[in-house]
């Protein structure tokens, strides 16, 4: 199958590209390299089944060039810099909502019949039910990032209804693993490799975080694509466990062989809009037979090992 991956040079995107190529698909990757890294695409760029389109998803000609004769779009391109939403109030909406509107229009014009979209568990806002099911009560949005992802979800649903496009929407917890580039694990890793004796932690360290391993995430997506064929297919993706930031500090420190003195900046949240708790009910995806292979702890450790081996390339690019 000929497929398009937007955000192909990103963390999840580049792993997905490698997997799709390994399964024999022809892949067109789109990336503007605003946060994606060419380093992550090095394996793909050596494969004749891969074509890279360098450009922004807000540029319609870029998208139309990528979509020609394609059968499926994995839409992962996004501003994923959740934490600094308030510093750039329009960025989330432009990149994530308007970007998705553009992708859908390009699909419609190019007759691409199906899309998988990387949404987020943070669309549940201040959830009132844990673990949170897909049909949680209509939530109130608490961050520009989540609001922009919710806007994109709604657009995909409306296009599915109006233009007979099939939509797969995945509400992720945070993802860890090879090519992970932002979030608290890399912040802590950087701090502890610079000064192993001390660590500054935003908030009180008691923030509860759900994570899943990137290859488990990709397995889950491909399982759903194979087994669920509704007009709109909506799935939470996560593990059945969570950790506190403090737990992850222990695992990271242990892996790096250090015992830092910890300074907490205080407060229940790391930053404005930081959701204190995302913990998803994943019964729906599990009913399709998917199981995560790595625990949260194993995913954190795997990530630290990857960073140890690759941080120079990540920092350099």
Residues 102-141 that bind a copy of itself (CB under 8 A): 104-105, 108, 124-125, 134-141
Residue 277 and residue 313: Cα distance in Å, rounded? Answer: 32
Strands 26-31 and 2-6: parallel
d(CA 298, CA 126): 28
Residue 273 is a binding residue for a copy of itself (CB under 8 A): yes
Binding test (CB under 8 A) with a copy of itself, winner from 103, 147, 221, 249: 147
Other Cβ atoms less than 10 A from the Cβ of 223: the count is: 16
Classify 102 as helix, strand or coil: helix
- Applying CB under 8 A, which of residues 1, 22, 45, 158 lies at the interface with a copy of itself? 158
Terminal CA-CA length for the chain: 32
Q: Look up tokens 């390299």; give the residue.
A: 33
Count of alpha carbons within 13 Å of 237, Cβ hemisphere only? 29
Q: CB-wise, 127 or 217, nearer to a copy of itself?
A: 127
Catalytic residue list contains 145: yes
Distance CA 175, CA 180 (A): 8
51: helix, strand or coil: strand
Asked if 224 touches a copy of itself (CB under 8 A), the answer is: no
- The 3-class secondary structure across 249-263, one letter per residue, is HHHHHHHHCCCCEEE
State the minimum distance, in angstroms, from the CB of residue 98 to a copy of itself.
7
143 binds a copy of itself (CB under 8 A): yes
The catalytic residue among 145, 159, 180, 242 is 145
According to DSSP, the residues that pair with 86 across neighbouring strands are none
Residue 238 binds to a copy of itself (criterion: CB under 8 A): no
Q: Which of 40, 50, 72, 93 binds a copy of itself (CB under 8 A)?
A: 93
Measured distance CA(202)–CA(197) in Å, rounded: 17
Q: Which of 5, 9, 67, 97 lies at the binding interface for a copy of itself (CB under 8 A)?
A: 97
Nearer to a copy of itself, 17 or 278 (CB): 278
Indicate which single residue of 49, 90, 313, 317 sits in contact with a copy of itself (rule: CB under 8 A): 90
Answer yes or no whether residue 272 interacts with a copy of itself by CB under 8 A.
yes
Residues with active-site annotation: 145
| Residue ranges that bind a copy of itself, judged by CB under 8 A | 85-86, 89-90, 93, 97-98, 101, 104-105, 108, 124-125, 134-144, 146-148, 150-151, 153-155, 157-159, 161-163, 232, 234, 272-273
């Amino acid at each position: 199958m000929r497929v398009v991956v937007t955000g192909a040079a990103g963390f999840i995107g580049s792993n997905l590209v490698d997997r799709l190529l390994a399964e024999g698909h022809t892949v067109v990757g789109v990336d503007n390299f605003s946060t994606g890294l060419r380093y992550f695409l090095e394996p793909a760029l050596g494969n004749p089944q891969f074509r890279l389109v360098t450009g922004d998803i807000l540029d319609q000609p870029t998208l139309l060039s990528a979509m020609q004769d394609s059968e499926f779009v994995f839409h992962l391109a996004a501003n994923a810099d959740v934490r600094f939403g308030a510093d750039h109030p329009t960025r989330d909406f432009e990149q994530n909502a308007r970007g998705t509107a553009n992708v859908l229009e390009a699909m419609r014009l190019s007759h691409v019949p199906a899309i998988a979209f990387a949404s987020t568990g943070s669309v549940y806002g201040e959830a009132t039910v844990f673990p949170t099911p897909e049909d949680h009560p209509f939530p109130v949005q608490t961050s520009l990032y989540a609001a922009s992802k919710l806007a994109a979800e709604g657009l995909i649903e409306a296009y599915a209804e109006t233009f007979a496009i099939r939509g797969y929407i995945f509400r992720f917890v945070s993802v860890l693993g090879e090519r992970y580039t932002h979030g608290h694990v890399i912040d802590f890793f950087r701090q502890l490799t610079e000064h192993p004796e001390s660590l500054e932690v935003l908030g009180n360290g008691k923030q509860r975080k759900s994570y899943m391993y990137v290859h488990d995430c990709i397995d889950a997506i491909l399982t759903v694509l194979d087994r669920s064929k509704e007009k709109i297919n909506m799935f939470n993706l996560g593990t059945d466990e969570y950790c506190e930031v403090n737990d992850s500090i222990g695992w990271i420190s242990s892996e790096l062989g250090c015992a830092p003195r910890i300074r907490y900046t205080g407060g229940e949240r790391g930053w404005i809009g930081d959701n204190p708790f995302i913990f998803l009910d994943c019964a729906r995806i599990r009913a399709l037979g998917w199981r995560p292979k790595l625990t949260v702890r194993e995913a954190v450790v795997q990530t630290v090992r990857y960073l140890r081996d690759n941080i120079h390339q990540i920092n350099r690019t």
